[in-house]
Amino acid sequence: MYALAALCGLGATVAAAADQYDVEVIVFRNLAPRDDGEQWPADTGGNAGGFASVPLRQGVEELPQSQFALNNVAGALRRSGAYQVLVHRLWREAAYDSKSAVPYELDVPEGGSDTLAGSIRLIRERYLHLDIDLTLSSSGSLYRLDEMRRIRSGELHYFDNPHFGVIAKVTPYDPGESPPQAATGAGTATPAPDEESRPEAQPPVPAP
């Protein structure tokens, strides 16, 4: 019994010590999409929500717009006339392995029959990964973006779909630092020890 209690206490300590990250994402629609995206008629019963049926668990903290670091990126997308920003969110969570990762769920009606639903998971095993499973319902069709990719903290990452996309930035959270200011969004942060340094394709964000 005492051994079990000690084991449970150890597990709680490990969970409390998990590294935390700030995750900022912009989900946007391509207003002039190509026609080769993954899609199917809305009435086929396809999975329109990805992980949307999984309840959001404790451990995810929504952060205010005053801490956004990618406002300039969202603004450039809006000003371009080629994209529509659907969602701009920032949250903080501890990173766990793929079995314990907490999904950040999206269920955003965009007006009329258009809806964005699904989830985004931050996973940390040997490397950091971002697992995106989102579906855009528009004009009677569903367009799905389902991709898990190894990422590096402090850098912009672009997840592509002909009809919509995601720009994401994951930054290690240091409780001793001041909240980040809304800056250019192109700055870098010190990567976590288990992250591999490698170049990433930059998102096609139009110049301001």
3-class secondary-structure state, position 130: strand
Give the domain range for residue 133: 18-172
**pTM beyond 0.75:** no
Over residues 11-48, the pLDDT tens digits come to 444 444 568 999 999 999 998 876 554 443 333 233 33
Q: Specify if 11 maps to a domain.
A: no
114 Rama class: left (phi>0) / alpha (psi -120 to 50) / beta: beta
Overall number of domains in the chain: 1
Q: Which residues of the chain, if any, have pLDDT below 50?
A: 1-16, 37-57, 182-194, 196-202
Q: Specify if 201 maps to a domain.
A: no
Q: Specify if 81 maps to a domain.
A: yes
What is the predicted pLDDT for the residue at 2?
Answer: 43
- Residue 122's alpha-carbon distances to 98, 117, 136, 158, 174, in angstroms, are 8, 17, 21, 15, 17
Q: Specify if 41 maps to a domain.
A: yes
Asked whether the beta carbons of 86 and 108 are under 8 A apart, the reply is yes
Asked whether the beta carbons of 202 and 158 are under 8 A apart, the reply is yes
Over residues 102-121, the pLDDT tens digits come to 899 987 765 556 789 999 99
Q: Specify if 79 maps to a domain.
A: yes
Q: Specify if 5 maps to a domain.
A: no
What is the predicted pLDDT for the residue at 78?
Answer: 94
User: What CA–CA distance (Å, rounded) separates 73 from 64?
Assistant: 17
Nearest alpha-carbon partner for 89 in 14, 11, 26, 38: 26
Q: Specify if 189 maps to a domain.
A: no
Asked whether the beta carbons of 119 and 52 are under 8 A apart, the reply is yes
Q: Specify if 4 maps to a domain.
A: no
